């Protein structure tokens, strides 16, 4: 993904219309280059969040995919909510770890979030490249970014904690559809 994005930017540069095109795309460079950091460079809260996601993945109810996903959510009030993937024999009813964590937090009275960490592994293999949230989860995270009126940080880590990508929901879902498109006023839901 990073390589592809760089290739697009390179191509735009070759076309010699860089500024014009990048401006039209709304700063594609910022949207495509993800920051990779070492575990040691994370803040204390980020480390805690990533480790909680790593632990949460072991709780996965995953008889079908055998894929373990853990997420942990940090609220504005510094509460942390872990979540795991929960599958179902009907397959389509599976719920992702990210949404489990978010729904847990909302049901406990918290709707303002700062950061979300995700860690995954396969049944018999470690994940080398950090796993990004699926489209459905991006849309759900985007809802709460709209509610808060600010971006939500997304931390993606592999199991060995030697590859960590720091990105944000605005980077992961540009030109998103959200409450403002419907002219909905959300302030009464800020908790
Ligand atoms: Zn998902």
Counting beta carbons within 10 angstroms of the beta carbon of residue 1, is it exposed (0 to 12), middle (13 to 18) or buried (19 or more)? Answer: exposed
For residues 140 and 95, give the distance between their C-alpha atoms in angstroms, rounded to a whole number: 12
User: Any alpha helices (H) in the chain, and if so which ranges?
Assistant: 2-14, 18-24, 28-32, 44-56, 97-107, 135-148, 169-172
pLDDT, one tens digit for every residue, the chain (191 residues): 444 455 655 665 565 555 554 455 444 444 456 789 999 999 999 999 999 999 999 999 999 999 999 999 999 999 999 999 999 999 999 999 999 999 999 999 999 999 999 999 999 999 999 999 999 999 999 999 999 999 999 999 999 999 999 999 999 999 999 999 999 999 999 99
Distance (Å) from CA 66 to ligand 1 centroid: 15
For residues 81 and 69, give the distance between their C-alpha atoms in angstroms, rounded to a whole number: 14
Half-sphere exposure of 23 (CA within 13 A, CB side): 4
Tokens of 89: 């024999």
Q: Which residues are catalytically annotated?
A: 98
The pLDDT value recorded for residue 181 is 97
For residues 96 and 91, give the distance between their C-alpha atoms in angstroms, rounded to a whole number: 12
Distance (Å) from CA 137 to ligand 1 centroid: 4
Distance (Å) from CA 114 to ligand 1 centroid: 18
- Number of helices and strands in the chain (H, E): 7, 6
DSSP 114: E
Q: What residue ranges define each of the domains in the chain, with the CATH number in brackets?
A: 1-33 (no CATH), 35-189 (3.40.140.10)
């Amino acid at each position: 993904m990073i390589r592809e994005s760089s290739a697009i930017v390179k191509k735009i540069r070759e076309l010699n219309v860089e500024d014009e095109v990048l401006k039209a795309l709304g700063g594609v460079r910022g949207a495509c280059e993800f920051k990779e950091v070492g575990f040691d460079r994370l803040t204390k809260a980020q480390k805690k969040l990533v480790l909680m996601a790593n632990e949460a993945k072991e709780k996965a109810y995953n008889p079908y995919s055998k894929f373990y996903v853990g997420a942990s959510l940090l609220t504005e009030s510094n509460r942390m909510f872990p979540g795991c993937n929960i599958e179902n024999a009907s397959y389509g009813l599976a719920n992702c770890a990210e949404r489990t964590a978010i729904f847990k937090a909302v049901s406990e009275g918290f709707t303002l979030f700062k950061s979300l960490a995700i860690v995954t592994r396969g049944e018999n293999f470690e994940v080398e490249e950090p796993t990004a949230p699926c489209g459905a989860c991006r849309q759900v995270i985007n809802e709460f970014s709209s509610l808060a009126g600010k971006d939500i940080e997304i931390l993606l880590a592999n199991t060995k904690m030697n590859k960590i990508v720091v990105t944000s929901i605005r980077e992961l879902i540009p030109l998103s559809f959200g409450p403002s498109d419907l002219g909905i006023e959300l302030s009464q839901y800020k908790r």
